[in-house]
Structure 1
Amino acid sequence: MGEKDARAVSETPIRDAATIIMVRDTGTRPRVLMGQRGQSAVFMPSKFVFPGGAVDAVDADIPVANPAGADCLRRLANQSTAKPEALLNAATRELWEETGLLLGAKDPRAGQIEAPKGWRGYLRTGHLPDGDALSFVFRAITPPGRPRRFDARFFLAEAEKLANDPDDFGNAEDELSHLQWVPLDEVRKFDMPFITEVVLAETSAILNGTDQPGVPFFNNFDEISRFERL
């Protein structure tokens, strides 16, 4: 790699992102919602992942029906300049766009907001994001050297909080295919990114009560990888 190419890699911008881990049947045989990225995707092609994506500027402007808890907001703000509500809202929007599943609470303000594509369809349902339905459980920055880099926050939410049928993906956009609820004890049969496997292990620990205090943070902001807890 030449000097120019190396400099381009080192200057790859890190975008804030939000990912949502939807779980169901937690009292029996837990399942998580996953889909497959397209073969032509620049980032993680053909991999099975959770719904998620980059934070849009408008995400910070959408009011919430219910705020997230103080502890969640504090951890989101730790070592971050992103507005916590924008991260929570982005997770809600990405779930809606990529799966057609509606997570939120009824709020009369929804019909009074003008928003671009993505939020427009969501707001027409009469809902606003419900920050209290999301738990901040993981954070990871894409290591240097990748074509795209994200500072991804992972949120956990239960399917019981959805406002529509958890098995109806009819309104999903086509960014993810093969959307399905995968049993946690079978999920590692799928082709997944390494970080997704790590997040799944943390999800399992949370569900069975063996997780450790704090939110795990794979801090790859620079060439030195650090594992921290927020």
Structure 2
Amino acid sequence: MDKSAIRNAATVIVVRDPGDAPKVLMGQRGAKAAFMPNKFVFPGGALDPGDHDVPLDALPEPCTARMAHDSTPGLASGLLAAAIRELWEETGLALGRPWPWPGAVPHDWAGFADLGLVPDATNLRFVFRAITPPGRPRRFDARFFLVDASQLWGDPDDFSRASDELSHLQWIPLPEMRNFTLPFITEVVLAEVAAALPGLGAPDSVPFFDNRHEESVFRRL
């Protein structure tokens, strides 16, 4: 794979107690990670080919229409599956509902299905999009999804099923974010989320940092 190619990716911003003392789920990337080493980030990662095969209900409007902007048909469903899968793999927390899995369970979803769950994206909201600027060791076209922690299945403090990709998993109070080393784009996204609280619905428009080329373009979807 061409490491300079822009890969589609999905990121999940999970907010706990949005109307009282809001906290956001984050973890730290390893020191040897090629992309954003040592930074505290939201759970997320690149779209896998198998994500397109995971059956999901569509997001409500206007999220569906906004995700269709400048994308290939069927990409939105794959990105939603990637968001839920990455959240599960990196934190051990499941965004799903009790239901028998339709057909054979993909390898990546075995532990998820063992809980008696199928992935459920209906409570995710598309809130941000950003493309990594040129010159970085990895480049992603990332869609950011927002969800209330109350929609998670099980104990939100139980990270026992998490992989080792993110360390120091924790719920960070918004006022304490300045004490953590965050990527610039993460700071921008957090500012957008904080400004909208306590609401966790679809925003009036979705910020889009388009860095496909040398000139950075900001627009709204």
Place the TM-score, normalised by the shorter chain, in its bin. over 0.9
CA 111–77 in structure 1, closer or farther in 2 if over 3 Å, else same: closer
Superposition deviation, residue 114 in structure 1: 2.9
User: What is the aligned counterpart of 1:153 among 124, 128, 143?
Assistant: 143
2:61 maps to what in 1? 70
Map 1:43-82 onto structure 2 (within 5 A). Answer: 43-64=35-56, 66-81=57-72
CA–CA distance in 1 between the matches of 2:8 and 2:116? 27
Within the alignment, does 1:220 sit opposite 2:179 as a pair?
no
CA–CA distance in 1 between the matches of 2:208 and 2:14? 20
CA–CA distance in 1 between the matches of 2:98 and 2:59? 16
Note the alpha carbon deviations across 1:144-179, whole angstroms, 9 max, x for none.
000110000000011100111000000000000000
User: What is the aligned counterpart of 1:204 among 188, 191, 194?
Assistant: 194
2:80 maps to what in 1? 88
CA–CA distance in 1 between the matches of 2:71 and 2:210? 12
CA–CA distance in 1 between the matches of 2:203 and 2:156? 30
Within the alignment, does 1:144 sit opposite 2:134 as a pair?
yes
Map 1:1-230 onto structure 2 (within 5 A). Answer: 12-64=4-56, 66-81=57-72, 83-108=75-100, 110=101, 112-116=103-107, 118-208=108-198, 213-230=204-221
**SS across alignment from 2:67:** helix
Q: Between the two proteins, what is the percent identity of the paired residues?
A: 58
The number of residue pairs the alignment matches comes to 217
Asked whether the equivalents of residues 34 and 50 of structure 1 are also in contact (C-alpha less than 8 Å), the reply is yes
Normalised TM-score (structure 1): 0.90
* Structure 1 residues not aligned, in runs of 5+: 1-8
Asked whether the equivalents of residues 67 and 130 of structure 1 are also in contact (C-alpha less than 8 Å), the reply is no
CA 127–212 in structure 1, closer or farther in 2 if over 3 Å, else same: closer
Asked whether the equivalents of residues 111 and 123 of structure 1 are also in contact (C-alpha less than 8 Å), the reply is no
Asked whether the equivalents of residues 111 and 124 of structure 1 are also in contact (C-alpha less than 8 Å), the reply is no
Equivalent AA in structure 1 for residue 15 of structure 2: V
Higher helix share: 1
Superposition deviation, residue 111 in structure 1: 5.9
The 4+ residue runs of structure 1 with deviation greater than 3 A are none
CA–CA distance in 1 between the matches of 2:203 and 2:75? 26
Superposition CA RMSD, Å: 1.7
**SS across alignment from 1:86:** helix
1:6 maps to what in 2? none
CA 184–61 in structure 1, closer or farther in 2 if over 3 Å, else same: same
Asked whether the equivalents of residues 9 and 140 of structure 2 are also in contact (C-alpha less than 8 Å), the reply is yes
